[in-house]
Structure 1
Amino acid sequence: MSDRAATSLAPSAVWTLEEVRSVRHWNEHLFSFSISRPAALRFRSGEFVMLGLEVEGRPLLRAYSIASPSYADELEFLSIKVADGKLTSRLQLIQPGDQIVLGRKPTGTLVADALLPGKRLFMLSTGTGLAPFLSLARDPDIYQAYDQILLVHCVRTVSDLAFRDELESHFADDPLVRDEALLQFRYLPTVTREPFHTSGRIGALIDNGRLFRDLTDSSTQFDPENDRIMMCGSMSMIKELKERFEGLGFIEGSRNVPGTYVIERAFAE
C-alpha cells in the first residue's frame, strides 16, 4: 500500500472505503483500475457512482461510470490522467492495496429501461465514455432485449483504445455473454490523430456511411422505429449527435419517461 492513498476517513452513510485490486496504465493519459465491491452494492449496467480519495481530510469525489458488469465481484473504472487535476493527479498514482472512497448510491440515465423497446442498440462513445458501455455490453439481459448491440469508440490515438482486445474478441473470456456476443455484438474503433484502419469522428463516419457498412448488414441510416441510441463522451460529440438524431425524429429518454435515445447528463458539463 502507498502512503499517498491511505485515509483517516471512516465509512459513513454516504460512502464506503474499498481496496484497490489492480491498476492498468494504457498510456500516459489513460488508466483503468478495479476495486473491491461492497457486499450491499447493487447497480444497473450503465450507471455511475461517486468515487475518489481523501484530500486534506475530506473525501474528494467525482462521477465515474462503472465499467464492470453488474454481476462482477469487483468494480472497474476507466479514467483520464490530468497532471494538475485535483483528483486525477492523485488517482493516477494508486496502487493495489490503497483505499478508495466509494459512494453508496449508483445512478444514471444510460440504463436499458430509459429506452423504448427496439431492435438495434447503438452505443456511441468517445474517450472514457466507453466505460458504461463496457458494462452494458457484458449484460446478458441486453442481448435478450436487442437483436444487435453496436458499439463505436472514437479516440485520438491507437493506445487510447482501452479494452480493444476484449471488445474485438466479443468477450470470449466471459462465459455469460460470449455466445450471444459472437452473433449480436459488433465493435467499431476509430482514431482521429494517428493512422488506423478506421479514422474520423463519429459524425463523419455517419456522413460517409462507414459506420453503417462496418456495423450493420444493410441499413444506411438511423431508424427511430427500430434503433435505440446511447451516447457518452465529449460534450461536443453529444451536442452534435443530439441535434442530428432529434432532426431524424429521435426523442430523448430518461429513467422516468423512456425515449429513443439517451445521454449521460452527469458528464455533459
Structure 2
Amino acid sequence: MQPALAPSTALSVEEVRSVRHWNEHLFSFSITRPASFRFRSGEFVMIGLPGDNRPLLRAYSIASPAYSDELEFLSIKVPDGPLTSRLQKIQPGDQLFLGRKPTGTLVTDALLPGKRLFLLSTGTGLAPFLSLVRDPDVYEYYEQIVLVHCVRHVSDLAFRDVLEAQLADDPLVQDQALVQFSYLPTVTREPFHTSGRIPALIESGRLFDGLNGPRHLDPETDRIMLCGSMDMIRDLAAQFDGIGFEEGSNAKPGHYVIERAFVG
C-alpha cells in the first residue's frame, strides 16, 4: 500500500480516480480536483510523487476541461524515467502531489482574435488541446477549430473515439463542435487513412480540407498553437515566422503560441 502523503503550501495531495493504458508506452489518469483549484484551458501544473529527499515533480498539461470536477493528464511511459517509471504503476485510490499554481502560454489570452484556430500536436502534446476543444469560450472566439494529432502508431491516437465523434457526449460544446470542430489524426509509421508529418499536411493542403477560407495559413485570420516534439515546434515556428506570423505570450498576444516551459 502506498504511504500517505503530506500536503504543503505549494502542493496538495490528491487521489487517483482512474487510469487508462492506451498501449505499452502511453497512459492517462485522472485525480481529484481541489475546490480552490482554478485554471485556464491549455495550462499545465506540476504533478509528482515523493522522492528521496523532496517531492519528484514534473510539468503536465491539464487535459480535462476547466469545468470538470476531476483533473486528467496524458503521459508517456519511460522505463527508466525517475517519475514516469513509477507513475505508470498508479492505481485508483493512490495519492499524488498536485501543484497549486497552474500556468502556461497555450491559452487563448495569448492569441489575437482570429477566425480559424489550428491546434497542432504530436504525441502527448495532445493534452492541453483536449482541454481547449471542450471549452465553450473557444467556440465563441473562433469560427473553426482544427485539432491535428501526429503520432507514430495508430494505438498512439489517445482519445481518438471522443475526437472522431466531434465531442458528441460533451454537454457544453457538443452542438458547437458538430459545426465548428475538425479532428485530423495522422500516423507516420503504420498504414492509416492520413499519413505524414504536420509540415507535409500544410504543404499539401490536406490541413485545409473541408475548411472555409484559404488553403494556406494566413496571419490575418489564422491562429495556431503548437505542442509536442521540440523539433516539430522549432521547425514550424521558424516557418510561421517566415510568412508573417508573430509569436504571442500572456503579456503580448500574437498569431501563434508554443509552451516555452517545455521547449526551453
TM-score band w.r.t. shorter chain: over 0.9
The amino acid that maps onto 2:161 is D
Given that 1:156 and 1:194 are in contact with CA atoms closer than 8 Å, whether structure 2 keeps it comes out as yes
Given that 1:46 and 1:132 are in contact with CA atoms closer than 8 Å, whether structure 2 keeps it comes out as yes
Given that 1:46 and 1:135 are in contact with CA atoms closer than 8 Å, whether structure 2 keeps it comes out as yes
Alignment counterpart, residue 203 of structure 1, candidates 199, 203, 216 = 199
% identical aligned pairs: 73
- Superposed CA offset, 1:144-192 (max 9, x none): 0000011100000000000000001111111100000000000000000
Runs of 4+ off more than 3 Å: none
Given that 2:77 and 2:84 are in contact with CA atoms closer than 8 Å, whether structure 1 keeps it comes out as yes
TM-score normalised by structure 1 residue count: 0.96
Q: How big is the shift at 1:57? A: 4.6
Q: How big is the shift at 1:108? A: 0.2
Q: Distance in 1 between matches of 2:46 and 2:225?
A: 21
RMSD: 1.0
Given that 2:5 and 2:95 are in contact with CA atoms closer than 8 Å, whether structure 1 keeps it comes out as no
Tell me what 1:26 maps to.
22
Q: Distance in 2 between matches of 1:234 and 1:205?
A: 16
Question: Counterparts of 1:12-91 in structure 2 under 5 Å?
Answer: 12-91=8-87
State whether structure 2 residue 238 is matched by structure 1 residue 238: no
SS in 2 for 1:171: coil
State whether structure 2 residue 113 is matched by structure 1 residue 117: yes
Q: Distance in 2 between matches of 1:79 and 1:139?
A: 22
Given that 1:8 and 1:57 are in contact with CA atoms closer than 8 Å, whether structure 2 keeps it comes out as no
Q: Distance in 1 between matches of 2:256 and 2:67?
A: 25
- Superposed CA offset, 1:50-83 (max 9, x none): 0011122521000000000000000000000000
Tell me what 1:129 maps to.
125
Q: Distance in 2 between matches of 1:172 and 1:140?
A: 14
State whether structure 2 residue 157 is matched by structure 1 residue 161: yes
TM-score normalised by structure 2 residue count: 0.98
Q: Distance in 1 between matches of 2:5 and 2:171?
A: 38
State whether structure 2 residue 182 is matched by structure 1 residue 182: no
Q: 5+ residue gaps in structure 1?
A: none
Tell me what 2:253 maps to.
258
The amino acid that maps onto 2:199 is G
Q: Distance in 1 between matches of 2:259 and 2:144?
A: 21
The amino acid that maps onto 1:41 is F
Tell me what 2:218 maps to.
223
Q: When the two structures are aligned, how many residues end up with a matched partner?
A: 264
Q: Distance in 1 between matches of 2:112 and 2:50?
A: 40
Q: Distance in 2 between matches of 1:158 and 1:57?
A: 40
Q: Distance in 2 between matches of 1:35 and 1:8?
A: 15
State whether structure 2 residue 262 is matched by structure 1 residue 249: no
SS in 1 for 2:139: helix
Given that 1:9 and 1:57 are in contact with CA atoms closer than 8 Å, whether structure 2 keeps it comes out as no
